[in-house]
């Protein structure tokens, strides 16, 4: 189980893509919450940001001589973004609504 470290940012350590604060695969739950806050009201920008991190993670794995599991990385980096967007909008395609109908999956 990942530990939280108060006062430490939950950012990715590259090229392994684990959280520098808690050691969990990045984005960890605290990182996802921070990203939701950072990109509040800007779900498209959040999606582009995470897609860019996904591309970097795949490139890092290839550079290390690994064969990345692209499907697993795609789910890890982008699935939670879609779920958070739906939860905030009540099932639609925009997070303009401030109503939270369901909590996004953060793990």
Per-residue pLDDT of 13-56, as tens digits, reads: 999 999 999 999 999 999 999 999 999 999 999 999 999 999 99
79 is a domain residue: yes
Confidence (pLDDT) at 2: 47
86 is a domain residue: yes
54 is a domain residue: yes
Can you tell me the distance from the alpha carbon of 23 to that of 15, in angstroms, rounded to the nearest whole number? 13
pTM metric for this prediction: 0.74
5 is a domain residue: no
Confidence (pLDDT) at 88: 65
pLDDT band for 89, please (50, 70, 90 cuts).
low
13, containing H or E segment: strand 12-13
64 is a domain residue: yes
34 is a domain residue: no
103 is a domain residue: no
pLDDT band for 8, please (50, 70, 90 cuts).
confident
60 is a domain residue: yes
Task: Tell me 19's DSSP state.
Answer: E
Question: What is the domain range of residue 63?
Answer: 43-90
Is the pLDDT assigned to residue 3 strictly greater than 60?
A: no
Q: Which residues of 9-37 are buried (b: 16+ CB within 10 A; e: fewer)?
A: ebebeeeebebbbbebbbbbbbbbeebbe
Number of domains in the chain: 1
């Amino acid at each position: 189980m990942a530990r939280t470290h108060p006062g430490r940012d939950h950012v990715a350590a590259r090229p392994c893509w684990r959280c520098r604060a808690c050691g969990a695969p990045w984005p960890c739950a605290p990182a996802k919450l921070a990203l939701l806050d950072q990109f509040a009201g800007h779900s498209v920008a959040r999606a582009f940001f995470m897609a860019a991190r996904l591309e970097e993670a795949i490139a890092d794995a290839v550079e290390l001589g690994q064969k990345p599991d692209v499907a697993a990385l795609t789910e890890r980096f982008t699935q939670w973004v879609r779920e958070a967007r739906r939860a905030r909008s009540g099932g639609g395609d925009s997070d303009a609504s401030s109503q939270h109908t369901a909590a996004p999956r953060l793990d």
